[in-house]
Structure 1
Amino acid sequence: MFKATVTPGFGEINGMKNANNNAISIWFEKARNPIFRLFIPDLDLNPDKWKLIMVRAEFDYVGEMFYGEDVEIRTFITRIGNSSFTVGQEAWQNGKLGTKGQTVIVHYDYLSDKTIPIPASIKKLLEEHMEASDKASELSN
């Protein structure tokens, strides 16, 4: 599991005084960078090197998160397929789960416009961060 900390800024707060949905999806995106680095260590944006595409994202907003207090983003792998994998994520603030979600990411060759198998060496690295999504909520809690 990867962990990242974000502190909600004033501009990420909505009229109800809690973190807005767009901010949370951005926090989750940034917290996926360690997973992207398993595929592209320097995160070079050269299309010849970038081989990932997100094909699905879903979020459950289960609690509120507020301005100025750190939020811990937990990122883990819940499924590994031949050419795709699922990333689970949770946002915690003050010991309470605020948002949970998952994204499906495909190993993809943009030049040939086709999915490509995930190399065994990268699958092994992904497996090191594998968690059941319900178990991750219990960890570090």
Structure 2
Amino acid sequence: MTDIPFLTPLDPDQQRAFGLQDPWPLALADRVRFAELDPLNHVNNVAYLIWFEGARVTYFKHVGLSTYDKAEVEPRIVIRRGEIDWLQEMRADETYVVVTRTVEYRTTSFTLRQEIWSGGTVRATFDCVIVLLQPDGSGRMPIPAPVRERFHKIDGVARRVDAP
């Protein structure tokens, strides 16, 4: 697909044209760069983490969690835990899409699911638990109501997971 816009959120039709059957709340396309390759000409494992991070930052801006320019009032966003699965290698010049959505949440934390798609297949997945802290780091911060509402309406989270 040659007309896919890079590093710009893809609409549902663009996602389907790329090969995603079910559109995600956020999808960003890009192309593998030479600098992201290892000596075996595969994408270096660290590159996947950087791609996931870029999509997370964009996602947090889109859900209204942070603008990244008001540190005195916006939450500190921390990854508490993350698990990545590298499923299939990638090589130079492949076009890929990173997709992101919230799959569950609690009072001050939520779980994100991210996937990298290329050539009609999932190449890597990343599941992480995000915790919100007060701007000064003094303790946890509740997820703002408009963000929780977006988790329901846009991301399709059925309900809040109760804390143990």
Q: Which runs of 4+ in 1 moved over 3 A?
A: none
Cα distance per residue 1:23-79 (max 9 Å; x no partner):
000000001123311212x321x4313412121121000111111111111111111
The residue number in structure 1 matching 2:78 is 53
Q: TM-score when scaled to structure 2?
A: 0.73
| Correspondence 1:1-141 to 2 at 5 A | 1-37=25-61, 38-40=64-66, 42-44=67-69, 46-51=70-75, 52-127=77-152, 128-130=154-156
Give the Å deviation of 1:131: 6.2
Name the CA shift for 1:63/1:82 in 2 (closer, same or farther; >3 Å).
same
Q: TM-score when scaled to structure 1?
A: 0.84
Give the Å deviation of 1:130: 3.5
Question: Secondary structure of the residue that 2:81 maps to in structure 1?
Answer: strand
Cα distance per residue 1:90-122 (max 9 Å; x no partner):
001111111011111111114152011112221
RMSD: 1.7
Question: Secondary structure of the residue that 2:46 maps to in structure 1?
Answer: helix
Counterparts of 1:123 and 1:114 in 2: how far apart (Å)? Answer: 19
Over the matched positions of the two proteins, sequence identity in percent amounts to 27
Counterparts of 2:73 and 2:91 in 1: how far apart (Å)? Answer: 38
Specify every segment of 5 or more residues in structure 1 that has no aligned partner in the other structure, as ranges.
133-141
Counterparts of 1:102 and 1:111 in 2: how far apart (Å)? Answer: 26
Question: Secondary structure of the residue that 2:136 maps to in structure 1?
Answer: coil
Quick one: which amino acid aligns to residue 72 of structure 1?
V
Quick one: which amino acid aligns to residue 39 of structure 2?
G
More strand per residue: 1 or 2?
1
Larger radius of gyration: 2
Larger RCO, structure (CA 8 Å, separation 6 or more): 1
Give the Å deviation of 1:125: 1.2
How many residues align structurally?
A: 130
Quick one: which amino acid aligns to residue 89 of structure 2?
E
